[in-house]
Amino acid sequence: MDIVKLTRHSPQELLDRLRQVPLLNQPDILVYARALISLENIHTDNLVPAQNYIWLAELRKVQELRWSLAEQGVDLFRLDGFVTYTVRGADGAEENYDVYPPVVEESLEADGSLALIINDGMHRLYLARLERVVPQVIYIRGVPKEYPYYAFPRPEGWAGIDLLPDNPDPRTYLKKCHRRRENKRLYRDFQAVFANVGRSRSRLLTPR
């Protein structure tokens, strides 16, 4: 991975961007506009996945990203804001990517439990567990009750997470237990305010 430029952004700029995150295809609904948002170091034991699997290929990409950023003096698990990096592909083309800390939301469930549900950054947090790192996360409280995270937290937490060689077929594998039939209406569209955060980095993160 050839990083040709890297720019750090402050916690305040991160906060300002997050407050502009809309729901997917609903640009007028800014789900975090009035939420309490902070950067916190939280042990992964206290975080609850919604996803039932880890995709091995994606985990390897995240590991390569961690190493490549470290060569630039950036700790993936202590970003203190967010980072924009420019990479040059094998064809010489350059492209910008943003990376911010994993996103965790407080979610009050029907049984009265309060789950710290992993919204974004599942593979990074799994890598943090493997490395026994307490990662920095974006901790969000006070999300409007009518716009909960689109899937339920796993009752078993991290226990029983599948490590799969390929991205599973949703027709034969339950990736997440969705809250609603039209679950994507609750999807937080980070791509609307950050660069290339919803796209695969596979072309750029091929191990050297």
pLDDT at 36: 98
- Structural domain contains residue 205: no
* Whether the predicted pLDDT of 198 surpasses 90: no
More confident residue, 4 or 46: 46
* Whether the predicted pLDDT of 207 surpasses 50: no
pLDDT at 89: 84
DSSP classification of residue 58: H
Q: What average pLDDT does the structure give for the chain?
A: 94
- Structural domain contains residue 202: no
62-72 per-position pLDDT tens digit: 999 999 999 99
- Structural domain contains residue 200: no
* Whether the predicted pLDDT of 143 surpasses 90: yes
pLDDT at 1: 77
- Structural domain contains residue 69: yes
pTM: 0.93
Looking at the structure of the chain, the number of domains it has is 1
Q: Which of these, 185, 159, 134, 195, lies nearest to 29 by C-alpha position? A: 185
30-49 per-position pLDDT tens digit: 999 999 999 999 999 999 99
Confidence of residue 95 (pLDDT cuts 50, 70, 90): very high
151: left (phi over 0), alpha (psi -120 to 50) or beta: beta
**CATH number, domain with residue 81:** 3.90.1530.10
- Structural domain contains residue 92: yes
Q: ∠ CA 161-162-164 to the nearest 5 degrees?
A: 150
pLDDT at 199: 55
Q: Indicate the angle between helix axes 56-70 and 122-131, nearest 10 degrees.
A: 70
Residue 112, domain extent: 3-192
